[in-house]
Amino acid sequence: MTEARVIPIQPVASGAAPDAAPAAALADGLGCHAGRDQMQQAAAAAGKSDVLAQYAADYPLRSDAGPHDQPQSMCPAFGSLRVGLRMRRTATILSGSACCVYGLTFTSHFYGARRSVGYVPFNSETLVTGKLFEDIRDAVHAQADPARLDAIVIINLCVPTASGVPLKLLPKEINGVRIIGIDVPGFGVPTHAEAKDVLAAAMLRYARGEAEAGPVAAPRQARTGQPAITLLGEMFPADPPGIAQMLAPMGLAVGTVVPTREWRELYAALDCAAVAAIHPFYTASVREFEAAGRPVVGSAPVGMDGTHDWLGAIGAAAGVAPAAIDAARNATLGAMRGVLATQKINGRITLSGYEGSELLVGRLLVECGADLRYVGSACPATPWNAADAEWLRARGVHVQMRASLEQDLAAVAEWKPQLAIGTTPVVQAAKQAAIPALYFTNLISARPLMGVAGAGSLIQVINGAIGNQARFDSMKDFFGGVGQGDEAGVWEEVPRHFPAFRADVRRQNEKARKKRKAEEMGG
């Protein structure tokens, strides 16, 4: 066991004002519901300014102080946790408040992790004295068994990040097991999509260093010998083989999908002719590929225009002759033209999500004939989705990057679509208004999108959903009279209104609110 040492945690000055930033962060229990600014100040004061500055550059918020000052969907750290849990021979350990860890482990098992999540608990004392860091280091040493593991990932959640728990002081490797410590606070990483990038990039950086230092392990699957295209972004399992077919006439192969499923795939991912940033929010990962000298191409082979442009861009990046690019285009676009000529989507649609692939789905919907009015993505505008946004806007679609839930809901209210595709609360609101709705994450991003297979599959599911309107109407007729809001439920009598009582309660609440505010300002 290594000798205990004191870790440089920002001390709390006695008599500090109650809202002093570090003091706020040191109190367990603050998190999404505490102010972002307060947590950021605490983290900066505790020595995390460089990490936060990098996150601010990589994952920019909207200039009008956009909505993502607090997570509006699941905890962002879920993205990193998921990437770690999906890798073979990799252990993932969380350091954070118990309530956050409870939610994250629950969600990961809900999504079928089938893997234990490590947890190093803390209390105010271990946080303030630096003992938490010692506990994390002990946990990492206890887990570092090279017979079982290639890597251990430790994720600092909000409170340990704001308190400056210095994961960078952990050893880089123990007994040959790589140690990857990352900070993934909700006040620095806006979405769980971008949190995937935080871990993917940290691993790529580590693997790049190893590859630069000497020979590294070959990937498990034999390679074809053709120049490979690395695919950046989690996608439906049928998409990479579909993309491989499209690339074949250019003499290119599909390489590794990042985030990878195993450590040694990281070397293969770096060893590519070009990188296809299918998901556009992997800013830090792109930096690693560019540092390795790999060209990066945005957008994806969705729809006729998207596939035409993407094949051209990939071919150019990989140095393919124009004749071979044309051959690849002809092979795919001919078949896709056939699908689009025989099937169509007829209906007005709004689309929103937080997966990062919303613009790609939007393009495909438009090419399939949909009257698409709005695309909202919780992810930011990047160079790799710029062409998609421009293409959609040129066709009259309102594109909202870093969209808030409120904007997504307003779009449904404004356009009254025949189908609302969205996140859980958007779908809930649409269904309440008797509008057919589909969950983006479970029903749209979990199906093929690329090439011919993508077009065929999307048309089917969308038309099926729009065709459900009659069922929504009959449900509304049947249940419509059971009451709404505070009148909903099972009542023995029809609920009666008491406007005077309601006004009285409202007055009392308002009075109490003003009193609280006056006390806060005076205190």
Instruction: List residues near ligand SF4 by CB under 6 A.
Output: 31-32, 71, 75-77, 96-97, 100, 103, 157-158, 185-186
Task: Kindly report whether the peptide bond that precedes residue 249 is cis, defined as omega within 30 degrees of 0.
Answer: no
Nearer to ligand SF4, 94 or 174 (CB): 94
Contact in structure between 93 and 140 (CB atoms under 8 Å)? yes
Amino acid (1-letter code) at residue 79: G
Nearest one of 409, 507, 421, 414 to 465, comparing CA atoms: 421
Nearer to ligand SF4, 161 or 332 (CB): 161
**Whole-number minimum distance, CB 154 to ligand SF4, in Å?**
14
Length of the chain: 523
**Whole-number minimum distance, CB 198 to ligand SF4, in Å?**
13
Q: What is the secondary structure of 72-114 as a DSSP string?
A: SSS-THHHHHHHHHTSTTEEEEEES-HHHHHHHHHHHHHTT--
Contact in structure between 8 and 32 (CB atoms under 8 Å)? no
Which token pair is 375? 């695309």
Q: What is the largest CA-CA distance in the chain?
A: 80
Nearer to ligand SF4, 76 or 451 (CB): 76
In sequence order, the β-bridge partners of residue 155 are 94, 182
Task: Please give the distance of CA 95 from its chain centroid, rounded to a whole number.
Answer: 20
Nearer to ligand SF4, 118 or 362 (CB): 118
Residue with tokens 């590929």: 289
**Whole-number minimum distance, CB 155 to ligand SF4, in Å?**
9
**Whole-number minimum distance, CB 102 to ligand SF4, in Å?**
9
Nearer to ligand SF4, 77 or 328 (CB): 77
**Whole-number minimum distance, CB 36 to ligand SF4, in Å?**
10
**Whole-number minimum distance, CB 138 to ligand SF4, in Å?**
22
Nearer to ligand SF4, 75 or 300 (CB): 75
Q: What is the secondary structure of 393-447 as a DSSP string?
A: HHTT-EEEET--HHHHHHHHHHH--SEEEE-HHHHHHHHHTT--EEEIIIIITTS
Nearer to ligand SF4, 54 or 107 (CB): 107
Nearer to ligand SF4, 31 or 417 (CB): 31
Nearer to ligand SF4, 162 or 254 (CB): 162
**Whole-number minimum distance, CB 75 to ligand SF4, in Å?**
3
**Whole-number minimum distance, CB 25 to ligand SF4, in Å?**
11
- The helix/strand/coil state of 374 is strand
Residue with tokens 């006004």: 503
Nearer to ligand SF4, 343 or 441 (CB): 441
Nearest one of 78, 107, 109, 110 to 94, comparing CA atoms: 78
Nearer to ligand SF4, 96 or 448 (CB): 96
**Closest residue to ligand SF4, Cβ-based?**
31
Which token pair is 374? 């709005």
**Whole-number minimum distance, CB 32 to ligand SF4, in Å?**
3
Task: State the DSSP H helix or E strand holding residue 340, giving kind and residue range, or none if neither.
Answer: helix 322-342
Backbone φ and ψ of 339, nearest 5°:
-65, -45
Amino acid (1-letter code) at residue 502: R
d(CA 384, CA 206): 24
Which residues make Cβ contacts (< 8 Å) with residue 112, sequence separation at least 6? none
d(CA 505, CA 434): 32
**Whole-number minimum distance, CB 130 to ligand SF4, in Å?**
20
**Whole-number minimum distance, CB 508 to ligand SF4, in Å?**
32
